[in-house]
């Protein structure tokens, strides 16, 4: 076939375009666009990662300009290159349905249940038209990591049940002597919101899941008007709550929780409560999942050169997940979202190295790094 010069230039452009789209990545580049294997910015916000049989599955909020239309899934073998597996849970058009289009689906996380062979997704659900008032936790289930996930139910957990570390008697004794504190934080501390919600069930907003070495799984979420985190044990099939739960950092306004474990200790990464705007990250450590949790302050170090923000604004990000690095005990990829509330699908990601040093969580700014960064680490543990 005869090709003139223009056609040859076009062909070269097409071929180079094709190769630039499929060219593989071998590092994490924070804050900039995060292309999937088709070259599209990854649309999985408030995400978590499931590792299963040598493959990684990333689940997150699939956003439009505004709230999520459902949950997206991406697959990878190396954590750098992600293939879009499509939507695994989508809002529906049925009026009155819990996940009716217009509802808010946030921070989905998926875990695998070895006993049932099912993939279980939990997420924060807000019912259509009610802003953030419903504050429910919701569950969906699938036979495959790439879905589709079948929606099961949503609810406010632990109705009628007092937490293990804060039974009704303690609440009564404590609230009697500190009545009328007049301060939101003290009210959270005293358990005013906890007591208010004993009957209808506790609020459940920003959330994560954690599976312990013994297979027990936990749903950890911001409760009590976002004043206090609750760590709640899931049933053996991971589809419900057992009623065993504990309050963590009462009255300290933590959200965006993420949990990791190293040498028998549990590490919490979280944020303060300032909506889409960034604030300073927090951390805490505990000898058991039930506590006692000791507050350890801001674990972040370094400055993001793009926006000149450092630890006091978490580089512009908010935590979403601590992904254990396979074969590198005590090392994590700490995942954060940089929210862009006016065009949410354009929200960016910070995936940064995190590790445990001297029984504390440390998260370090790195603009462009790969997992061998951990090989050069000098840790005292």
Footprint of ligand GAL (CB under 6 A) = 46, 106-107, 206, 255-256, 273, 275-276, 318
Give min distance, CB of 225 to ligand GAL, in A.
12
DSSP 291-303: ---EEEE--EES-
Least spacing, CB of residue 34 vs ligand GAL, in Å: 18
User: If we measure between CA atoms, which residue out of 138, 34, 140 comes closest to residue 88?
Assistant: 140
- Nearest distance from residue 342's CB to ligand GAL, in Å? 13
Query: Whose Cβ is closer to ligand GAL: residue 113's or residue 314's?
Result: 314
Kindly tell me which of 60 and 145 has the beta carbon lying closer to ligand GAL: 60
Between 322 and 371, name the residue whose CB sits nearer to ligand GAL. 322
Those residues with Cβ within 8 angstroms of residue 282's Cβ, 6 or more apart along the chain or in another chain: 249, 252, 254, 268, 269, 270, 271, 272, 295, 296, 297, 298, 299
Minimum CB separation from ligand GAL for residue 43, in Å? 15
The residue nearest ligand GAL at its CB is 275
Question: How do beta strands 228-234 and 241-248 pair?
Answer: antiparallel
Query: Which of 197/255 has CB closer to ligand GAL?
Result: 255
- Nearest residue to 70 (alpha-carbon basis) of 35, 99, 111: 99
Compute the least distance from the CB of residue 203 to ligand GAL, in Å: 12
Q: Within its chain, how far is the Cα of 287 from the centroid?
A: 22
- Cα–Cα distance for residue pair 350/302, rounded to 1 Å: 13
Please say which residue, 118 or 282, places its beta carbon nearer to ligand GAL.
Answer: 282
Question: In whole angstroms, what is the distance from residue 43 CA to residue 287 CA?
Answer: 36
Cβ proximity to ligand GAL: between 18 and 276 the closer is 276
- HEC secondary structure over 225-254: CCCEEEEEEECCCCCCEEEEEEEECCCCCC
The least CB distance from residue 318 to ligand GAL, in Å, is 6
């Amino acid at each position: 076939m005869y090709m003139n010069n223009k056609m040859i230039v076009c062909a070269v452009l097409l071929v180079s375009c094709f190769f630039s789209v499929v060219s593989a990545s071998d590092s994490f580049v924070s804050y900039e666009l995060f292309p999937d294997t088709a070259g599209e910015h990854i649309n999985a916000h408030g995400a978590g990662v499931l590792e299963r049989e040598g493959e990684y599955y990333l689940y997150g909020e699939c956003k439009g300009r505004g709230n999520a239309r459902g949950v997206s899934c991406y697959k990878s073998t190396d954590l750098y290159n992600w293939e879009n597996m499509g939507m695994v849970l989508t809002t529906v058009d049925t009026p009155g349905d819990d996940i009716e289009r217009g509802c808010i689906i946030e921070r989905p996380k998926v875990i695998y249940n070895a006993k049932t062979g099912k993939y279980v997704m939990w997420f924060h659900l807000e019912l259509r038209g009610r802003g953030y008032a419903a504050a429910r936790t919701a569950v969906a289930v699938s036979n495959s990591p790439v879905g589709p996930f079948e929606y099961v139910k949503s609810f406010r957990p632990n109705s009628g049940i007092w937490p293990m570390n804060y039974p009704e008697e303690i609440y009564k004794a404590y609230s009697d002597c500190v009545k009328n504190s007049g301060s939101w934080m003290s009210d959270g501390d005293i358990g005013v919101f906890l007591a208010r919600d004993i009957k209808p069930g506790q609020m459940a907003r920003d959330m994560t899941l954690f599976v312990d070495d013994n297979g027990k799984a936990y749903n950890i979420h911001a409760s009590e008007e976002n004043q206090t985190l609750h760590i709640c044990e899931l049933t053996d099939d991971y589809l419900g709550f057992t009623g065993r739960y504990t309050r963590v950092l009462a009255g300290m306004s933590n959200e965006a929780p993420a949990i990791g474990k190293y040498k028998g200790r549990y590490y919490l990464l979280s944020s303060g409560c300032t909506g889409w705007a960034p604030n300073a990250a927090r951390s805490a450590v505990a000898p058991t999942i039930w506590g006692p949790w000791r507050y350890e302050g801001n674990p972040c170090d370094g400055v993001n050169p793009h926006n000149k923000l450092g630890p006091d604004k978490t580089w512009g990000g908010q935590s979403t997940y601590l992904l254990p690095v396979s074969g590198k005990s005590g090392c994590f990829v700490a995942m954060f979202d940089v929210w862009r509330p006016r065009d949410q699908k354009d929200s960016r990601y910070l995936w940064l190295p995190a590790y445990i040093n001297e029984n504390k969580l440390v998260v370090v700014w790195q603009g462009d790094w790969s997992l061998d960064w951990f090989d050069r680490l000098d840790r005292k543990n």
